[in-house]
Chain A
Amino acid sequence: MDQFGDKLASKLHHYSVLPWNDVYGSVEAAEAFVLTNYIFFLIISFVVTLGFMLLAARKLDMVPSGIGNVAEAGYEFIRNMCNEAMGKEGQKYAPFIATLFFFILFSNLIGLIPGALPGTGTIGVTATLAVMVFVLYNFIGFKKHGFIGYLKSFVPSGIREMGWGGKLTLGVFVFVLEVVGHFLRPLTLAVRLFANMFAGGMILGIFGIFVVIGVAQLSAGGFAIAGLSTVMLLIMYAFKLFVGFIQAYVFALLTSVYIGGALHADEH
């Protein structure tokens, strides 16, 4: 099993945050100006997303076709989602949500290319996006309802209508819970996306190791393991493609729900 340990270590090394060309060793959290392997692929995702969208925008026509049609269908899907979550104001925030969706989607999909990494497979990127969402939706809430008004909305109207006794006990308790809940939102957003993309890569890596080790055994058992692992590898690959779409959708959906909640904070 030493062989497996070594290969696993090398896989883990591959999926660690490293300088992009992997020559300087690991990147420390405090290092500010190192182009990491994940950011290298995030920039590729950036270019691909931008290129795809700009190309699609040039192919727009009254009769939809080709790449323009794909971008349109995607954008309309996001726009409808925003309208459902936010009502009339959905239109205004649709470009933000759509940027999140397509950037995350292309990052996830680029991670499927063998040897490449998903830009969203590192907590640095997902946490940054999640914190941006957190700041934005709370900013929208404060702007729309005023500082006190927005904070007040954390407590349900039923408790607000109680006497001082209820307000000070139940009210404060619910308020604290709600604040904790709000701070958990970016954490869950960040970890969900990061963990899904990172784990997907690791699982593919592990089945890949099994294939290599199995073949190297040059025995019937080894080939059986290799064959089975190849099948699993293909299944997991398809699954990861699916997960890439789902996670981009979930991130975009939750963001639009959070913004919708901030916009309509006075309604519950």
Chain B
Amino acid sequence: MFVGVAYAAEEGGSAISVVPVLSEIWPSIIAFVILFLLLKKFAFGPISNTLDKRAATIKESLEKAEETKVEAERMLEEYKAQMAEARGEAGKVIEQGRKVAESMKAEIVAQANKDAESIVAKAHEAMETEKKAAIAELQASVADLSVAVAGKLIGEKLSADEHARLIEKYVAEVGSLNDN
């Protein structure tokens, strides 16, 4: 039962079979079935697992990356807020410091002014006292000098009482002159 396109080669007898040859059927079945069983167990199974595992890993990594990104963004926001707060705080501290410094400056200046004034006043006072002392001394020496001069001029003819009266009168005159 050979159906084929026999090629009419005189001595050949070769043919292209278009009907399956029995000796090709069973080896094909056996080869395919064995190949299928071996590949399924030792190749496609592991490959399939690897593909699934990789897909899961990639998915997980992407999710983790997304989570990390969100966390990073949250932290950045937090830091920014903290930064702003710190900046505000620092501003406040500086402002406060400035105020304190200013008030201290005012205080110091005021104190200095007061001190200066008191020093000036004391100086005035001292000067006044000195002046008075000087005048008193001057008056005394003028009186003595006058007495001596007068004594010399009138030849000790004045009594002690007259002498004293004359001096006082003179001093009063000098004093009133000095007051002017």
How many angstroms from the CA of A208 to the CA of B17 in the assembled complex? 23
Which B residues, 1 to 47, have Cβ-Cβ distances below 8 Å to chain A?
1-3, 7, 9, 12-29, 31-32, 34-36, 38-40, 42-47
Q: Within the complex, what minimum Cβ distance (angstroms) separates A209 from chain B?
A: 15
Contact B21 A27 (CB under 8 A): yes
B14 touches A62 (CB 8 A): no
In the complex, what residues of A have CB within 8 A of residue B18's CB?
A: 123
Known contacts A15-B16, A72-B51, A103-B35; is-contact A32 B23 (Cβ 8 Å) = yes
Cβ-based interface call for B111 (8 A): no
Across chains A and B, the number of contacting residue pairs, with CB separation under 8 Å, is 160
A98 touches B39 (CB 8 A): yes
| B68 on the A face (CB < 8 A) | no
- Judged by DSSP, the binding face of B is helix
Determine whether B114 belongs to the interface, using a CB cutoff of 8 Å to chain A: no
Instruction: Specify the chain A residue showing the minimal Cβ separation from B16.
Output: A16
Q: How far is the CB of A186 from the nearest CB of chain B, in Å? A: 11
B118 neighbours in A (Cβ, 8 Å):
none
Q: Which B-chain residue is minimally distant from A62 (CB atoms)?
A: B54
Q: B31's contact among A18, A43, A91, by CB below 8 Å, is which?
A: A43
Number of interface residues of B (CB under 8 A): 43
A: residues with CB less than 8 A from B are: 9, 12-13, 15-18, 25-36, 38-39, 42-43, 46, 49-50, 53-54, 56-57, 60-62, 64, 71-72, 75-76, 79, 91, 94-96, 98-100, 102-103, 122-125, 127-129, 132, 198
List the 6 closest pairs (A to B, CB-CB), nearest first. Answer: A124-B24, A53-B43, A13-B14, A128-B28, A124-B20, A9-B9
- 10 residue pairs A–B, Cβ–Cβ below 8 Å: A12-B16, A13-B12, A36-B24, A42-B28, A46-B31, A56-B43, A57-B47, A125-B24, A125-B28, A127-B25
Beyond A42-B27, A43-B27, list 17 extra A-B contacts (CB 8 Å): A26-B14, A27-B17, A27-B21, A28-B2, A42-B28, A56-B47, A72-B51, A75-B51, A95-B36, A95-B40, A98-B44, A99-B44, A122-B17, A123-B20, A124-B23, A124-B24, A198-B16
